[in-house]
A and B are shown apart, each in its own frame.
Chain A
Amino acid sequence: MKEDVATTGHSWDGIEEYDNPMPRWWLWTFYACIIWAVGYMFLFPAWPMIKSATPGLLGYSTRADVADEIAEFEARNDVWFQQLNQTELTEIAANTDLQRFATQAGGSVFRAQCSQCHGSGAAGVQASGYPNLLDDEWLWGGTIDDIHQTITYGIRNEEHMDARYSQMPAFGQDGLLAEEEIDQVVEYVLQMSGQQHDADLAQAGFEVYDLNCVACHGPDGGGDPFVGAPALNNAVWLYGGDAESIRETIYYSRWGVMPGFVNRLRPAEIRAVAAYVHQLGGGE
């Protein structure tokens, strides 16, 4: 029993320490671990070198594993992307599985590429003129083909000829309108959009509008998606709909810019984003 075990010979305040040997199973486990470690050292990457490490006899690499996994998932997605490429944009929604894939894939592309301006929920940022993609007003049209065209080539994108392009004159800055004419047309726009306004000024503003604005924004302020002119007679405002904001828009004009994604994303990815944006609830 215990009395037979030798002590280490140390004594602290009369407390002595037994010199017990290891349990046998513990030693066996320890020896097995040593053998395992030696084998592991040669089979797997182990020794650090100056720039890399010994590769190990099995050639195992976590990077290669990740690359394989990525390739495997891409191969699985490729089938769907091919189908997406071969399906008319307007026909995607009819194929439930394809629509599900397109909106999932498009959603992930959107969060990576588009959310910086349009927000992760696609609600845009009004103060900065990033359009809300959830509502039902579209500067350049809200059909899936229109959306696809916008994403592909962008807005006022100097890099591509097919980019959508419109230009509103800076009526104040360039001296096209007098200050008082601008004040009048601001009131008229407020009237068109059903807001509080000065009736007399608005009446005078009609003349100014009729001469300068009607070509693009239309006689009733309904806008024209063909030239990217926004509707002025409704509640949706890209840069704000109060008198101050409208005045600034007329005085300096506004130029929103969006890059084209034709050289950044694969065609199928652009189609997926178009499908995603179209189903957000504002698509026409």
Chain B
Amino acid sequence: MSSSAPPESTLYQKREPIFPRRVKGSFRTMKWWLLAAMLGVYYITPWIRWDRGPEMPDQAVLLDLASRRFFFFMIEIWPHEFYFVAGLLIMAGIGLFLFTSALGRVWCGYACPQTVWTDLFILVERWIEGDRNARVRLHHQKWNAEKVRKYGLKWVVWLLIGLATGGAWVFYFTDAPTLLQNLLNFSAPPVAYLTILFLTLTTFLFGGFFREQICIYACPWPRIQAAMMDEATLTIGYRDWRGEPRGKHRKGDDADQMGDCIDCMACVNVCPMGIDIRDGQQLACITCGLCIDACNDVMDRIGKPRDLIGYLALSDEVAERQGGTPISVWKHIFRPRTMVYTVIWGGIGIGLIAALFLRTDIDMSISPIRNPTYVVMSDGAVRNAYDIRLRNMHGAPRQFFLSVSDNPSVRLTVEGQSGLLVTVNPDEQLSQRVYLTAPSGTPPATGNQTPVRIWASVTGDTDRINSDTIFNGRAQ
């Protein structure tokens, strides 16, 4: 070791703050509309009412975790129908593959919550502190009354947005108006407050302070996306064969030798990720299109054609360099790879819709009791016991008539009662012990295993369901 003081650590590197400049253009407009639509859906959905009858909250979209039911307008999902949720998750995954293979990171640039809330937070920041130059100045300014006032106001607004975010989330899980009332008079369950607190803080920190660092360091998706994209994928690129050599076009420059890029840094200044798209494709790019808007604006002003920066595919680059024209956007979007994804995606979707219409709102499952497998009665008859689980996914109580088919010698009895009717309350399931008895000497009683089918038919309705099980005889 040398005796001199060690150099300062470079492992601890401070973040370079980014101050995206305001931009106008078609992508920016589309992003504003998408932001409004997505936040609108998120904040309003729990407040849509839907008549669910007495004893149930009249909420259109409700994730009732306590009683394990998911309500989505007229659709009601029970735990055993979780394949609907699994199917939707698979569709979401394949949908992400589809969009990424066609259009690159459109999810990141337009729909990811991190992007949406960061956009909103930057909007607030601009309203309070002004555009890029004013914000840079304020950032480097020493703390004074103006800075305290502006930063304080900004943080308060961010916290309010965070509060609304966390607040909206909890309303999906219980009756929204009741919960709001309880939240306001401090009688809501602690988990509601904790959830709101957690989401308020994460929204505040992620949208206000971490911003692009989440996308670059925390999010796994940029690492996965490379596998979803190929050379025909549309992504944002800089046409360097048109732009280079770049320069300010000062007097004395030979204009014919210069490219279209005037090195105005507009594309860099508007980028929320703080990158220079002219360096080529890079991990940090979320393909939000703001650099396209900024550059097109400049191109219009200096009288050059648009799309120096634009959506292009690597496969187009070769042709364009030789003076050709790019293939149309639609040909990039509709190609075999995306068609395969679309077919799988749509197939699952059609399957789910079909399952939704084909499902019954009654269900039965049978568990034979195997301890012991059979009991011999005093008259020599052999009896098996079964636990039958009956589900009534219907808003009214239902009476099930239980019977056994195909084996005339086997008799069904219901534990604890003389009849064969079992009533199940609305939206509930009931476990009922039943017995099957085969008289002495009959084939099921003397045989080993006899298949039997148990039926449950709803009284006053045509609905009936059956389930197959096994009757154990004495020959074991």
Chain A residues with a Cβ under 8 A of chain B: 1-2, 4-6, 8-9, 19-25, 93, 119-121, 123, 132, 134-137, 194, 231, 234-236, 279, 281-282
Contacts and interface: CB of A to CB of B under 8 A. Distances in A.
Interface residues of B, number: 24
B372 interface: yes
B415 A23 contact: no
A123 B375 contact: yes
B9 A20 contact: yes
A21 B435 contact: no
B387 to A, nearest CB: 12
B9 A23 contact: yes
A5 B378 contact: no
- Chain A CB within 10 Å, residue with most, of B1, B7, B369, B376: B376
A223 B12 CA distance: 91
Interface string B371-395: 1100111111001010000000000
B415 A21 contact: no
B12 A24 contact: yes
A279 B118 CA distance: 63
Nearest to A20: B11
Given A121-B372, A135-B375, A235-B378, A279 B11 contact: no
Nearest to B2: A6
A137 B378 contact: yes
B10 interface: yes
5 tightest Cβ-Cβ pairs between the two chains A and B: A121-B371, A234-B378, A123-B372, A235-B380, A4-B7
Given A134-B383, A231-B378, 19 more contacts: A1-B10, A5-B6, A5-B10, A6-B1, A6-B2, A6-B7, A8-B1, A21-B9, A21-B11, A23-B11, A120-B371, A121-B369, A121-B371, A123-B375, A134-B385, A135-B375, A234-B378, A234-B379, A281-B433
Contacts of A5: 6-7, 10
B432 to A, nearest CB: 12
A235 B433 CA distance: 24
Nearest to A123: B372
Interface string B39-82: 00000000000000000000000000000000000000000000
Nearest to B435: A281
B440 interface: yes
A235 B1 contact: no
Contacts of A120: 371
Interface in B384-418: 385, 415-416
A120 B370 CA distance: 11
21 contacts: A5-B7, A6-B1, A8-B1, A9-B1, A19-B1, A19-B6, A21-B6, A24-B9, A93-B416, A119-B371, A121-B371, A121-B372, A123-B371, A134-B372, A134-B383, A231-B378, A235-B380, A236-B376, A236-B377, A279-B415, A279-B416
B299 to A, nearest CB: 38
Contacts of B433: 281
Nearest to A134: B375
Nearest to A27: B12
Given A5-B6, A6-B6, A281 B375 contact: yes
Interface string B1-42: 110001101111000000000000000000000000000000
A187 to B, nearest CB: 19
A102 to B, nearest CB: 13
Contact of B377 (A24, A93, A136, A279): A136
Contacts of A134: 372, 375, 383, 385
B140 to A, nearest CB: 22
Contacts of A121: 369, 371-372
Contacts of B369: 121
- Chain A CB within 10 Å, residue with most, of B1, B11, B433: B11
Contacts of B378: 135-137, 231, 234-236
A18 B371 CA distance: 68
A23 B7 contact: no
A281 B384 CA distance: 10
B403 to A, nearest CB: 19
Contact of B383 (A20, A25, A281): A281
A235 B376 contact: yes
A20 B371 CA distance: 66
Contacts of B372: 119, 121, 123, 134
Nearest to A283: B416
Contacts of B380: 194, 234-235
A266 B385 CA distance: 30
A279 B372 CA distance: 16
Interface in B276-308: none
Interface in B334-382: 369, 371-372, 375-380
A136 B416 CA distance: 14
Nearest to A1: B10
A5 B435 CA distance: 81
Contacts of B371: 119-121, 123
A235 B416 contact: no
Contacts of A132: 375
A6 B4 CA distance: 10
Nearest to B382: A235
Contacts of B435: 281
Nearest to A6: B6
Contacts of B2: 6
Contacts of B1: 6, 8-9, 19
A231 B378 CA distance: 9
A282 B372 CA distance: 14
B16 to A, nearest CB: 16
A256 B388 CA distance: 36
Contacts of B11: 20-23
Contacts of B379: 234-235
Nearest to A121: B371
A19 B7 CA distance: 10
Contacts of B12: 23-25
A136 B375 CA distance: 10
Nearest to B433: A281
A6 B9 CA distance: 10
Nearest to A19: B6
Nearest to A234: B378
Contacts of A234: 378-380
A2 B7 contact: no
B444 to A, nearest CB: 16
B440 A235 contact: yes
A93 B369 CA distance: 22
Contacts of B440: 235
Contacts of A136: 377-378
A279 to B, nearest CB: 7
A135 B10 contact: no
B377 A235 contact: yes
Interface in B434-466: 435, 440
A166 B49 CA distance: 71
B385 A281 contact: yes
